[in-house]
Chains A and B, each alone.
Chain A
């Protein structure tokens, strides 16, 4: 089945450093979603990217969708302790309509 591969699995940063997680697919994606899960919490939708080469920003978070629509990235500038959690990319069309195929996530820890 279709898979989305996410790297790295873990990332430890000092507060104020930047952070990037990458999501790769072997097939072309129609669109891609990003979710954040705080420790002990549930996944929360961040954004959806649809267009080839699309770049969207949410404050310190920058999301990119590759030109070939086979990869995506999430970059956080100047991390804060509130950024701690696991970031997942998800393919909204990987399974049947209405279901997501998740990457395994990147767990971010931030040292104050």
Chain B
């Protein structure tokens, strides 16, 4: 199993550009999430999905869109990049947890710089 994969690893954008961060998992996990990590801020939830066709907003959703057409893929779209979106982005997945046990598996991250 490759686990959770993310592409690209690094990206530099100019203000106003759009792009899509890719995330895929091969563990057949129902839940997938996007986090951003900024120095001193920990990890903050952007958007999440509990299954194909179902998405919802997290703590910091503004400026980002998601969709989930398959169980495997959960892309994150930046509509019009801003310097405030410079961050490290992590995708994570976990299985549905009827008993509350939902260890999350993280991808390697995408380091995004917006100039």
Q: Which residues of A contact B (CB under 8 A)?
A: 1, 9, 30-31, 33, 41-45, 48, 50, 88, 92-93, 95-105
Count how many chain B residues have C-beta atoms less than 8 Å from C-beta atoms of the other chain: 30
Which residues does chain A contribute within 8 Å of B97, judged by CB atoms?
92, 97-98
B33 close to A99 (CB less than 8 A): yes
Tell me the smallest distance from the CB of B53 to a CB of chain A, in Å: 15
B58 close to A45 (CB less than 8 A): no
- The answer, yes or no, to whether B20 is at the interface (CB within 8 Å) is no
Number of A-B contacts (CB under 8 A): 71
Which residues does chain A contribute within 8 Å of B56, judged by CB atoms?
96
Tell me the smallest distance from the CB of B88 to a CB of chain A, in Å: 9
Tell me the smallest distance from the CB of A91 to a CB of chain B, in Å: 11
B107 close to A98 (CB less than 8 A): no
A98 close to B102 (CB less than 8 A): yes
Q: Take A104-B42, A105-B42 as given contacts and tell me if A98 and B50 are in contact as well, using a CB distance cutoff of 8 Å.
A: yes
Q: Give the complex CA separation of A104 and B42 in angstroms.
A: 4
B103 close to A102 (CB less than 8 A): no
Out of A31, A88, A97, name the residue touching B50 (CB < 8 Å): A97
